[in-house]
Structure 1
Amino acid sequence: MTNMFNPPHPGRMLAESLRYLGINPCEFAKHIGALENSVLEILSEESPMTPDIALRISAALPGPSPETWLALQADYDLWQTRKRVSTARIQRIEVPTLQRALPESAGQEVTQ
Structure 2
Amino acid sequence: MMNMFNPPHPGEILRELCLEPLGLTVTKAAEGLGVSRKTLSAILNGKAGISPEMAIRLSMAFDTSAESWLNQQAQYDLWIARQRQRAYKVERLIATE
Same fold (TM over 0.5): yes
Which residue pairs with 2:29 in the alignment?
28
Q: Is 1:51 aligned to residue 56 of structure 2?
A: no
Q: Is 1:77 aligned to residue 70 of structure 2?
A: no
Higher relative contact order (CA 8 A, sep 6+): 2
Which residue pairs with 2:4 in the alignment?
4
> Could you state the TM-score of these two structures normalised by the residue count of structure 1?
0.76
Deviation at 1:11, TM superposition (A): 0.4
Which one has a bigger Cα radius of gyration? 1
Gaps of 5+ in 1: 97-112
Relative to structure 1, is the Cα distance of residues 82 and 61 closer, same or farther in structure 2, using a 3 angstrom cutoff? Answer: same
Deviation at 1:89, TM superposition (A): 5.6
Deviation at 1:2, TM superposition (A): 2.5
Distance 2:69 2:56 in 1: 9
Which residue pairs with 2:92 in the alignment?
92
What are the Cα deviations for residues 42-67 of structure 1, in whole angstroms up to 9, with x where unaligned? 0011111111111101101023x111
* 2:5 counterpart SS class: coil
% identity of equivalent residues = 39
Gaps of 5+ in 2: none
Instruction: Give the number of the structure whose residues are more often helix, by fraction.
Output: 2
Which residue pairs with 1:106 in the alignment?
none
Count of aligned pairs: 95
> Could you state the TM-score of these two structures normalised by the residue count of structure 2?
0.86
CA RMSD in angstroms, aligned pairs only: 1.8
Q: Which runs of 4+ in 1 moved over 4 A?
A: none
Letter in 2 for 1:11: G
